[in-house]
Amino acid sequence: AKSGYNHFMAKEIHEQPASLRQCLRGRVNELSGSVSVEELSDIDSPESVQLVACGTSYHAALYVARLFRAHGVPAQAHLASEYVTAPAPFDSDSLLIGITQSGETADTLSALREAQRRGASTLAVTNVVGSTAARECDHVVYIRAGPEIGVAATKTFSSQLATGNLLVEKLCASGTKRTSESTRELIPALRDLPNQLQSVIDNSTAKSVVEEYLDYDAYFFIGRGLHRPVALEGALKFKEITYEHAEGFAAGELKHGPLALVTQRTPIFAVVTGDGERAQKTISNIKEVQARDAPVVAVTDGQSEVRRYANHTLEIPQTHPRIAPVLANTQLQLVAYHMADRMNRSIDKPRNLAKSVTVE
Ligand code: F6R
């Protein structure tokens, strides 16, 4: 069942080019430069969006919320378990999106039900046909990742991000909010994503890089903008399966507190692509940690001068800024996997964790 891999997690990481192709199939029309999502043929464009999710799916929600905001649609991601403690107000043109791989996460279902009680229109983004979220929501979009066995979510996260792009293109396509230029560039980037992800997997040096960082005190992950959810996700995956202390931070927040933890015993994984102002700011943050002798592993593309500063780099090909997080995240999946494998951890069934969390 593991098709020659030692763990389902390895198999599922390697399945991502195929699962992304499956996610995008028939939904991206290169000739017309448009996106169509069959499940959403009868949904109106929302005036505002709220997203609820847990864990890895919450990191996808943070990413998707940013995409909506980039299209001028107010959008906020909420942890489902917190959302129910103080649901944000919404009006009749708002859409409540629940992102849940399994479609069975109790916290997410509660948040969706609470919103429905208040009259919200709901959309489930899920991997499981016929799941509770799929049945209970007004609308459903399937991420089509195929079954995920490893407790640590990998291919479903990538497909959540890809689906997020489809959703935003579809739901923001009508009216004045459409940013047609960004769509035109996005479509070829989506088309190339499966092959680029394959090349990331084939060429990753994550296995040798982790050898340099065994037995450190803690592992920090930083990123800015769309790379912040990647940093949070990189840390979550790492702590889940290595049992080492790992934290993800917005790069700009380091100096507001976490820097106190940084020493030569705390490697920093920094996600930084492109050569714009955002990348420059993250490079400044990298210099701050290097001044405290922390080793830096940069996940980066060819454009960034971060390689001049980093102790090691994990390379991704150049792509659209919205797609780079998917490729960068794959490198961090491999970092977590190889570190956990090196430490002989129970990768597919980490201690204390369940694949689907059906209690609040
Ligand atoms: C982490 C992980 C969990 C899930 C979370 C939500 O690797 O898998 O954090 O993402 O429990 O699960 P779903 O997406 O099924 O609602």
Three-state SS string across 70-109, please? HCCCCEEEEEHHHHCCCCCCCCCCEEEEEEECCCCCHHHH
**The predicted structure's pLDDT at residue 102:** 97
Q: Residue 23 corresponds to which amino acid? A: C
From CA 161, how far away is CA 145, in angstroms rounded? 11
Q: Give me the residues of the chain with pLDDT under 50, please.
A: 175-178
| Strand residue runs (E) in 246-359 | 246-250, 268-272, 296-300, 312-315
Question: In which residue are the tokens 């505002």 written?
Answer: 48
**Residues composing the chain:** 360
Contact (CB, 8 A) for 325 and 161: yes
pLDDT of residue 89: 85
Of 25, 48, 26, give the one whose Cα is nearest residue 171: 48
Contacts of 31 (CB under 8 A, 6+ apart): none
Instruction: Choose the residue to mutate in 62, 105, 243 for probing ligand 1, maximizing ligand atoms within 8 Å of C-beta.
Output: 105
For residue 271, report the distance from its CA to the centre of ligand 1, in Å.
22
Q: Which atom of ligand 1 is nearest to the CA of 108?
A: 16
CA distance 166 to 42: 15
> What φ, ψ does residue 50 adopt, rounded to 5°?
-125, 140
Q: Which atom of ligand 1 is nearest to the CA of 126?
A: 14
Helix axes 155-171, 180-203, angle to 10 degrees: 170
Which of 56, 110, 238 best tests ligand 1's pocket when mutated (most atoms within 8 Å of CB)? 56
Q: How far is the CA of 149 from the centre of ligand 1 (A)?
A: 12
- Average of per-residue pLDDT values in the chain: 94
Tell me the Ramachandran region of residue 278: left when phi exceeds 0, alpha when psi lies from -120 to 50, beta otherwise: alpha
pLDDT of residue 183: 73
Are 254 and 289 within 8 A, CB to CB?
yes
Q: Which tokens belong to 113?
A: 């039900």
305 C-alpha to ligand 1 centroid (Å): 35
CA-nearest residue, atom 5 of ligand 1: 55
Pocket around ligand 1 at a 6 A CB cut-off:
54-57, 100-102, 105, 108, 152-153, 236, 240, 356-357
* Residue 113 CA from chain centroid, whole number: 24
Q: Which of 2, 177, 207, 355 is catalytic?
A: 355
Q: Which atom of ligand 1 is nearest to the CA of 355?
A: 8
Kindly write down the DSSP assignment for every residue of 148-168, as one continuous string.
--SSS--HHHHHHHHHHHHHH
The Å distance, Cα 354 to ligand 1 centre, comes to: 9
Which residue puts its alpha carbon closest to atom 7 of ligand 1? 152
Which residues are registered as beta bridge partners of 126?
A: 100, 142
**Tokens 């949070």 belong to which residue?**
232
Let me know if 237 is a catalytic residue: no
- pLDDT of 175 reads 46
Q: Measure the CA dihedral 101/107/110/114, to 10°.
A: -100
Nearest residue (CA) to ligand 1, atom 11: 55
Strand partners, 248: 221
Ligand 1 centre to CA of 155 (Å) is 12
Cα 35 to Cα 92: distance, rounded to the nearest angstrom: 25
Name the closest-CA residue to atom 8, ligand 1: 153
- Distance, CA of 308 to CA of 37 (rounded, Å): 43
